[in-house]
Amino acid sequence: MNAQESFASQPFTAVEVIAAKRDGGRLTPEQIAWTIAAYTRGDIAEEQMAALNMAILLNGMDRSEISQWTAAMVASGETLDFSGLRNRAGAPLPTTDKHSTGGVGDKITLPLAPLVAVFGAAVPQLSGRGLGHTGGTLDKLEAIPGWRADVSHDALLRQLSEVGAVICAAGGNLAPADKKLYALRDVTGTVESIPLIASSIMSKKIAEGTGALVLDVKVGSGAFMKTEERARELARTMVALGKDAGVNTVALLTDMSTPLGLTAGNAIEVEESVEVLAGGGPEDVVELTVALAREMLEAAGIRDADPAAALRDGRAMDVWRRMISAQGGDPDAALPAARESDVVYAPADGVLVGLDAMAVGVAAWRLGAGRARKEDAVQAGAGVRMHAKPGALVRAGEPLMTLLTDTPEKFASAREALAAAVVIAPEGSRPANRLIIDRIA
């Protein structure tokens, strides 16, 4: 077949699809399926898909369009199937997963996955690496000596059956259309489109094959969604996409104006997660871990479970140790520590009413805990250790934060990021404090 015959056999052209959405029209299921398949195999040029992305950003998509777009991205690659999963006794294992839209100090996945597995659910948590001010779950876990993120499909199934939880890297063949689209959106100013954000997240989660999904949609200065209105719209869109695909999906809107816990980094977040698994840890990390565990278990059909008790009595810690060991890690090994530290002191007496999540995240990133490009390396020991959270009474000259890095020349830029991060008010003041804002189902 020559080029002219090949072109003539196409049911649509990219220009037709772009024009339809540019003019405010609704794309048909056939147009969407063809567009995603053609773009994935390279038959639609990058500039054409960039134009279509911009048309979607400006004119939006209805629920049916977003659902079809997501399904087409799922169909662009392989999907995982956990329907035959059994535990060691041969009983069926329901699968349940959690996705966070990202934030600062968000180490919740680490204690959450083993906690949920305590109650007979399987947690196939396919995670990613950090970019910019948001930390990556895999970067944190790779601070544990020997731990590996890459797990084969057979090893994944075996570990779910024997341990109940896996946190690992997603395979490259899950929703490959999303990988291309995400990179394109990043350089064409179309990242903010809610239909494209929702389909990006949900195509990967649906392709993972889990039966239930709980979404932790962050809102605030340290989140991708800065306003509650936008976060709520994203949550509702993703919950609808999950339901359309047959995945029992709920979402929690949670605050990310203040960092979660008292650490932002890699090894130091692992350390804090282990404290939570040992029955301690910061109150906000424990609260959100338990709330998400309850939602995941409920979504998987497991009721009357008490996640808080499983943290206190050591059952979750037992699963954590088995999960880390199964992926080559040593749960007893000392974690990497930064060679250099620098203390930030309270400038005045009063009540700490503000600790800006974005500022802390940027500081941790500049210290070496994050990366500016996907190819960049991270420092396992770098980050920010916080000594007070909003609501605490502080005195001038007391330590507020300790900055950690192997490269002390980075302290100046980290301090620059923190210049306006701290708000201290007169004694008696109370900070706004609502960790869990709403539940959407």
What residues are labeled active site? 99, 178, 185, 200, 204
- Measured CA distances, 354 to 16, 24, 240, 266, 351 (Å): 51, 43, 34, 23, 9
Q: For 43, which DSSP code?
A: -
Give me the phi and psi of 251, to 5 degrees please: -135, 145
Cβ-contact 403, 367 below 8 angstroms = yes
Residues 6+ apart with CB under 8 A from 368: 378, 379, 382, 405, 406, 407, 410
Query: What residue type is assigned to position 269 of the chain?
Result: E
Beta-carbon-side half-sphere exposure of residue 273 (alpha carbons within 13 Å):
30
* Tokens (6 digits) for 91: 């009983």
From residue 303, alpha-carbon distances to 132, 307, 309 in Å are 38, 11, 14
Beta-ladder partners of 440: 251
The DSSP string of 341-366 is: EEEEEPSSSEEEEEE-HHHHHHHHII
- In 148-304, DSSP assigns E strands to 165-169, 212-219, 248-255, 263-265
